[in-house]
Amino acid sequence: MSLPDYVTVLNLLSGLLSIYAAMHGKFVLASALIVAAVFFDMMDGFVARKFHMEGDFGAELDSLGDLVSFGVAPMVLLMTFYNTTWLSVLALGIPVCGALRLARHNINRHATHGFLIGIPITMSGLVIPLVVLFHLHIYIAAAVTVILSLSYLSTRRVNKLLS
């Protein structure tokens, strides 16, 4: 493992700890841990590019960490915070659609320089904690969940923030 891979593991650990915190009703902590995962996700890519340590192992590890931190953790946060069956079913879309987006990204990553296809799954790491921290109405949370999930399936080009 290289230095960027260790940073990616911090992303993964943040997501796993967020799941644990949400399961124990610590919603502010769970939200903060997802946001910490966003930070580590940005840093692992930065470190990999800075030190020319980009590789297939790191790319796959990053996707696995992203699926946990920005797919499963936000889903669990929504499920435990709102504790409603119908929203829990909708929340399944975040990791499922996110996984499809990540798989598509992995097979196209060498052909997409300077842009992404579809909204990055990292968006769940920014948006879902805000939904919970601001105690948004359940119908707004549902709408946000559906919009995020469907946006992961989009084939629209999105410029990369960091290249």
Structure tokens at 6: 């260790």
Banded pLDDT at 117 (limits 50, 70, 90): confident
pLDDT at 162 over 90: no
Please provide the average confidence, as pLDDT, over all residues in the chain.
Answer: 93
Contact 80, 23 (CB under 8 A): yes
pTM: 0.93
Decide if pLDDT at 96 tops 90: yes
Residue 42, pLDDT score: 94
In tens, the pLDDT along 119-152 reads 999 999 999 999 999 999 999 999 999 999 999 9
CA-based torsion, 93, 95, 101, 104: positive or negative = negative
Buried b (16+ CB within 10 A) or exposed e, 123-137: bbbebbbebbeeeee
Q: pLDDT (tens digit, 9 = 90+) per residue, 62-88?
A: 999 999 999 999 999 999 999 999 999
Q: H or E element: which one contains 8? A: helix 3-23
| Selected residue with higher pLDDT from 64 and 118 | 64
In this prediction, residue 76 carries a pLDDT of 98
Using the CB atoms, write b or e for 9-28: b if 16+ within 10 Å: ebbbbbbbbbbebbeeebbe
Report the C-alpha gap between 43 and 50 in whole angstroms. Answer: 10
11-49 residue pLDDT tens:
999 999 999 999 999 999 999 999 999 999 999 989 998
| Structural domains for the chain | 3-159 (1.20.120.1760)
Work out the widest C-alpha separation in the chain, in whole angstroms: 46
